[in-house]
Structure 1
């Protein structure tokens, strides 16, 4: 190798800024240039609208897969502000800034916000990776439209007339120059929005697919019962009713919500989430759940003399046979660990979740002795095998 070929100095460095960087390295911002990244665009576009519901400024979000390959995300909120400037606006960043400045408008990750973002880039990444994007805002009696092509403005705040309504509509068409496929999976999108609606009982989401005009389909996701509704939909209770609760714990600076029942299944089925993020790796919240489960059931078994003083406690494996559960914690300061960030590491969470599960499960066991006996008998039978 020659000395000339080894030369590396400041002149060799290529600096990419703003939306140019997103288009050059899309996988860094949406996970991939394949299906995963394509669907992430929809979640990024929807997140702003869904957060408006959570803070009480909107009631519904409608997401439509259009016949021409686009995606339309509409909310009935107050309408995002339109105008120059962002950081100095009392009502938040302007629509122009949200669409062109990375990380602009990203809400802090706390118990009150969704956090589906991979890197907190929001609407700007959707704009950068779309061949075309239109934003329509109804606010303060007027309707304004902005339009972009590959992140570059082609229509800036055109007023289209007066309106009595309010809300924001984002319509975008993913860029074929960026993505390996432009075919959205209705089932993939529906799965995630259903999940979010279970985890956030305030949400009201409608997903509509009109790509095939001869066979359109639409599904509404709204579950006022929270994760308890999720268990009811997914499981067939066999030995118990569905036990559900939600409470706040100041020690962990957050809330815990759980639902569980015992079903006709040999396996334990637990889904855990932290700040709406699936935690397949587990974490302190899942450890606390098992601690609370063991404390309540073992204490009740001894109280009912199903375990003698010399018998060992039931193990986690024995207690979990046939158990179906969903556990969700929402924290002001979540700490995720692991290469895929799917393990919750907050220390105080374990004790808080354990106490909440122990307390609520104990109350149920004492209130319904017949079902408690059936559950414990099943656990005892499992322990003997």
Structure 2
């Protein structure tokens, strides 16, 4: 079958032996070689079609992206033009990586822009989750190992993907490798941020806080990959695993299968809402992921309990830290705001001794509470 690419065609389906649409008369072959077969996606700025390259004897499948903005407003349309053009530029450079689709053509025909890229045969991870259920630790570690290397390639070329999510990761049928697709939202880290016009970039469930404000960095991609992992581990939307009131991720309690503390810590650091507390580079994540003994940690992980639910950046204080912090806190309530003298000289008896004793008691209880968190 041939599918007419004229957006206004009343009857776009045609047989595959004709060169012009029988309904509207539009040319069916792009650049005399690419024939659209069926639509496979549509958004506010364009449509995507499965196609065939008629110029090659094997007639391999490919993907046609048609720029067809439906949004109103000069700024929005101009934004869409920039993004579409940029995707072609990014793919031309990044498509050299075996886990990124190759750009086959980029051109204008009948006043409409087109991008033709390699077709990746396989299911995306959202489909894999729906069909096979939640991922386990081994699958997540393999996912991270696969995709962090792809991101390393992108970031080395100053490209931030900005839209990492399960739908944009395809498990390729031929070799079971993960392929990162849809660079329509990608931007150069050295260029002007494209999302300052007010148009949302990326999928809200997976977007880092700073990216929502138009300040995407390499660490923003790391955050999105972390959010993708917890979605695949829990089967829940990242929105449902985040406590906005306390700025805390609560995903561990929703795990389908327990995971090791080492992977939990890695994911929590990837998901830190404050960029400075997050991994800054892909190399840093890979270093932690490939720490010796990681497999032993997986094997020793109890199968009937989950890891403790801790805030992403929480570090259990040591006894010395607790003593120091309580001593500092105590000085705020003692007369004069000063700590006890170090020479332990007797202090004059005053009516504050009772209050001080009560403060000491309360602080000791607080200390016991914090120290209790260190117990197994």
Q: TM-score, normalised by structure 1?
A: 0.25
Report 1 or 2 for greater relative contact order, CA contacts < 8 Å, sequence distance ≥ 6.
Answer: 1
Q: TM-score, normalised by structure 2?
A: 0.26
* More strand, by proportion: 1
